Structure 1
Amino acid sequence: MANSIRFFLNGQKQDVAVRPDTTVLEWLRSGPRLTGTKEGCAEGDCGACSVLLGDAGDGEIRYHAANSCIMTMGQIDGRALVTVEGLKGETLHPVQAAMAENGSSQCGFCTPGIVISLAGLAANDAAADDHAIHDALAGNLCRCTGYRPIVEAARKVVGEGGAAIPGPAVAALAALEPAAEIATSGAVFHQPQMLDDLLKLRRDRPGAVLLAGGTDLGVALADFHGDWNEVISTAHVRELRSIEETPTHLGFGAAVTWEEVLARVAPFYPSFATLIRRFGSTQIRSMGTIGGNIGTASPIGDGPPALIALGVEIELASSGDRRTMPLEDFFLDYRKTEMKPDEVIASIRIPKPAVGQEFRVYKISKRYDQDISTVCGAFSIVREGGIVRSARIAFGGMAAIPKRVPEAETALVGKSLDEDAARACAAAIRNALSPLSDWRGSAQYRLTVAANLAERFRRDLSGETVEVMAL
């Protein structure tokens, strides 16, 4: 058992006795007083709190941007942390220099987070195009300068070959293994490395917080400043971090991050990849996990509708049992699931596309990037000779749970995907769903939009799609 958290901060090894449920942002500003890292929204949306996290593997340290406002100190144990102050050595980091030279900052509040995001991009993608630059900036808000001079600064750095992140030696970081348990100031942070150990902790400590990426739970921690006296982290469980590919499926352990999922699913399901980029910025995708997204059971979570339409199965594990079920059977009612108190989500299996399969997922929101869905609709069909032989349709934001719509599927099966079939599908959607009204949209608006997505799907497959940024 350790009584402190060990990590590298801006290249220097740290051994810090602090409650592991303290947010990284709070510690940075009150401990070492590295105040370049700001608090804006305290929800992981604005990017002012962005830092770089580094992990050693395959002979290198891979850095990615993350939101320090919703990340706990326990989560950085055994890792490298770089703040905007740590980017500057004897000279400015190339991103800092380019931002200054190009007039890319005014008030400066958002600038440190933007610099961090672009430094992460420049280190990982020396050939980044404008699409990659915009993707890297999607989790950073700037209300002063506008993004044109910021993007120009990014182009300059990338065009000159990118830039490395200053930090510890690879061997030094690799030797700093996460502690199995950290206990300090009345709080305990468990970090099991094997599934059996995780399941025993889950059984014996039912009151502990089960923490995956923390991009949902961390918001409540930051907003309400509550305490997590006991946490069980899934981040280092080997079985939950596994990725497998077979001729028919992609398999992901529940602790695989959305950034890792994105890289694997993009070649098979480009529409799903677009959705992943939209519902999570680089900062969120690098922390949030596919299992955590499912386990929160949010009716407006964007992952489940797409996964249900793809026919995903999940495995639940406890210390005495393993069971597999279709994802649509996992959700019972608002925030209620099939998962028992001593169980965890162990793995997720995504089928690869079948011959003749077409898949699209549509997110309707007030803002294009990183916004809560008003409606999320996913459509998957298999056609043979122009006739729909099978269909799976699911929605988020339209019920208390992510919901499959068998009636809408029946309206398409056995027909060509023409206007009449799309109309029948739309009518079935309207009849089957009963959404609520809230600030994102009225029930009638949601029903109209959801039904219209059947026609959008038809037009999409016929080649008539117009790029829609946000509705």
Structure 2
Amino acid sequence: MIVVRDTIRFWRNGQAVEVSGFHPRTMLLDYLRLQERRVGTKEGCAEGDCGACTVALGRVRGGRVRYEPVNACILLLGQVDGAELVTVEDLAASGELHPVQSALVAHHGSQCGFCTPGIVMSLFTLYHEGERPLSRESANDALAGNLCRCTGYRPIVDATLQACGGPADDSFAARSGPTAQGLASLADGRDVFVGDETRFFAAPASEASLAELYGRHPDATLVAGCTDVGLWITKAMMEIEKIIWLGRVAGLDLVEDSPEALGIGATVSHAAIHPALARIDPDLGEVMRRFGSAQVRASGTVGGSIANGSPIGDLAPVFIALGAALALRRGEATRTLALEDFFIAYRRQDRLPGEFVRRVSVPKLKADEAFRAYKISKRFDEDISSVLGAFKFTLDGRRIVAARIAFGGMAGTPKRAAETERALAGVSLDEPGSWGDAMAAIARDYQPLDDHRASSAYRATVARNLVFKALSETASGDTRATRIVGRREALQAAE
């Protein structure tokens, strides 16, 4: 018999908090400001871009409590179940500011102050998780999801380097043992169902429970990280009445790492999978580093990025180029299909009512394969792609035997460039004059989108140029002259 709990439970200031009877669309930010009256957490953009609403969630991973930053404005209240919730009001202890707060004061890192609570919370998570010693580039990455309209970035980064360069030594580190025990006491393995059959927030604890519930309510909205669905609620004002959160489903958060492939569970976060993808190829690591912000990567999931079917999602094209496959489940039935066949039309996928994504299998590169991926966006950090191109070349010496090429942002779905792939078969990397047919073929593969992110003509030109860039870099084996990051590293090495 399945035991159901009609409340969510989370850890707060050293004790368990239980909440029931909330509306399924309640955002964590609204709970904090309207129920707890903890108004230090600010609402800025209400879409997960500015970072003013950043809070920290602590969960036991790898035997200890780990803190991650999340955007409270697009995180459902129900998603904090089983976690420790930390806000800016919780950091000072015994009348003393937290080390990251003291550093911001000392370096004049707060100006108008509206963004400061979110910056403090991002630095709090970096204080507990950052590399030692901390580099300026890593500090910038950690703060990419926090906008300061007073343009005080230099003193903020200086404060970051001072505060986050050593081991964590605060009240949270001191009581990490009792916190871990408290979090363990919340992990009861029960399904959560708050509401009734017409309106509910549910969090199944097993795949079987998820399949049964989704089968009964195929009109429910599945939520993993809520980085996209959150905007449906805060911006589109959608009246979503039934929400099923996947964050408690045992097994969907597992990664199987074999010599041939990565098997990635649907609820594995972008932050968690980043290191494994970077080991497949550095370009995959760079795409993931620029995937949203630290807050988005901590919440957003691999399965969510695939299942929402966005034509501008970054994971789908790189996974298609690598030859990834999806595993889906509906009731007791499971099936597998190539990822490229999952996308039918704009926001439409080959997914039956009540069917959900379980896993994605991503093949690793073989010795005779070369990979390149490029994210083109208006802003280098924390921006949605205008175009993302991914290329996998199978080589016989210096000749291309086969190619898999996929683009995002060029059509209503992530899509392979079949004409370009055919034109590359047999092309020599030592004969740039033979690349012209492939560069021209990209125009036959796509009639690019024309929207506020980029014009159709711009996208067409960029795609053609990326074909040349991928071939040039594969031919030379050197990316230092063609990459912004490579140039920066080369300059630093020269100094």
Q: TM-score, normalised by structure 1?
A: 0.95
Alignment of 1:211-230 (within 5 A): 211-230=223-242
Alignment of 1:52-451 (within 5 A): 52-90=56-94, 91-127=96-132, 128-164=134-170, 166=172, 169-177=179-187, 179-184=190-195, 187-417=199-429, 418-451=431-464
Assess if the C-alpha contact under 8 Å between 2:93 and 2:171 holds in 1: no
From 463, 467, 471, the counterpart of 2:483: 467
Compared with structure 1, are the counterparts of its residues 193 and 184 closer, same or farther at alpha carbon in structure 2 (3 Å cutoff)?
closer
After superposing on structure 2, the runs of 4+ consecutive aligned residues of structure 1 that deviate more than 6 Å are: none
Please report how far the alpha carbon of residue 119 of structure 1 lies from its aligned counterpart in structure 2 after TM superposition: 1.1
Please report how far the alpha carbon of residue 375 of structure 1 lies from its aligned counterpart in structure 2 after TM superposition: 1.0
Please report how far the alpha carbon of residue 163 of structure 1 lies from its aligned counterpart in structure 2 after TM superposition: 4.2
Assess if the C-alpha contact under 8 Å between 1:281 and 1:370 holds in 2: yes
From 455, 458, 467, the counterpart of 2:468: 455
Q: Distance in 1 between matches of 2:247 and 2:435?
A: 43
Please report how far the alpha carbon of residue 300 of structure 1 lies from its aligned counterpart in structure 2 after TM superposition: 1.0
SS in 1 for 2:252: helix
State the percentage of identical aligned residues: 43
- Structure 1 match to 2:493: none
Compared with structure 1, are the counterparts of its residues 113 and 416 closer, same or farther at alpha carbon in structure 2 (3 Å cutoff)?
same
SS in 1 for 2:93: coil
1:102 maps to a residue whose letter is: H
Compared with structure 1, are the counterparts of its residues 38 and 450 closer, same or farther at alpha carbon in structure 2 (3 Å cutoff)?
same
SS in 2 for 1:175: helix
1:199 maps to a residue whose letter is: A
Assess if the C-alpha contact under 8 Å between 1:299 and 1:399 holds in 2: yes
- Structure 2 match to 1:13: 16
Compared with structure 1, are the counterparts of its residues 279 and 405 closer, same or farther at alpha carbon in structure 2 (3 Å cutoff)?
same
Count of matched residue pairs: 469
Q: CA RMSD in A?
A: 1.8
2:78 maps to a residue whose letter is: G
Please report how far the alpha carbon of residue 225 of structure 1 lies from its aligned counterpart in structure 2 after TM superposition: 4.4
Please report how far the alpha carbon of residue 274 of structure 1 lies from its aligned counterpart in structure 2 after TM superposition: 0.8
Q: Distance in 2 between matches of 1:299 and 1:160?
A: 42
2:56 is equivalent to residue 43 of structure 1: no
SS in 1 for 2:97: coil
2:445 maps to a residue whose letter is: A
Assess if the C-alpha contact under 8 Å between 1:122 and 1:164 holds in 2: no
- Structure 1 match to 2:490: none
Q: Deviations over 1:84-107 (max 9, x none)?
A: 111111211110000011101100
Please report how far the alpha carbon of residue 245 of structure 1 lies from its aligned counterpart in structure 2 after TM superposition: 1.1
2:17 maps to a residue whose letter is: Q
Structure 1 runs not aligned, ≥5 long? none
Q: TM-score, normalised by structure 2?
A: 0.91
SS in 2 for 1:14: strand
Assess if the C-alpha contact under 8 Å between 2:423 and 2:441 holds in 1: yes
Please report how far the alpha carbon of residue 28 of structure 1 lies from its aligned counterpart in structure 2 after TM superposition: 0.5
Please report how far the alpha carbon of residue 161 of structure 1 lies from its aligned counterpart in structure 2 after TM superposition: 2.9
Q: Distance in 2 between matches of 1:350 and 1:385?
A: 25
Assess if the C-alpha contact under 8 Å between 1:375 and 1:395 holds in 2: yes
Q: Distance in 2 between matches of 1:405 and 1:439?
A: 24
Please report how far the alpha carbon of residue 421 of structure 1 lies from its aligned counterpart in structure 2 after TM superposition: 3.7
Give the stretch that moved more between structures: 430-439 or 11-20.
11-20
Give the stretch that moved more between structures: 192-201 or 37-46.
192-201
2:288 maps to a residue whose letter is: I
Please report how far the alpha carbon of residue 458 of structure 1 lies from its aligned counterpart in structure 2 after TM superposition: 2.2
Assess if the C-alpha contact under 8 Å between 1:125 and 1:162 holds in 2: no
SS in 2 for 1:65: strand
Assess if the C-alpha contact under 8 Å between 2:319 and 2:362 holds in 1: yes
Compared with structure 1, are the counterparts of its residues 120 and 163 closer, same or farther at alpha carbon in structure 2 (3 Å cutoff)?
farther
Please report how far the alpha carbon of residue 126 of structure 1 lies from its aligned counterpart in structure 2 after TM superposition: 4.6
1:328 maps to a residue whose letter is: E
- Structure 1 match to 2:5: 2
Please report how far the alpha carbon of residue 231 of structure 1 lies from its aligned counterpart in structure 2 after TM superposition: 1.5
1:2 maps to a residue whose letter is: R
1:466 maps to a residue whose letter is: T
1:181 maps to a residue whose letter is: V
Q: Deviations over 1:265-294 (max 9, x none)?
A: 112221011111212211111111111101
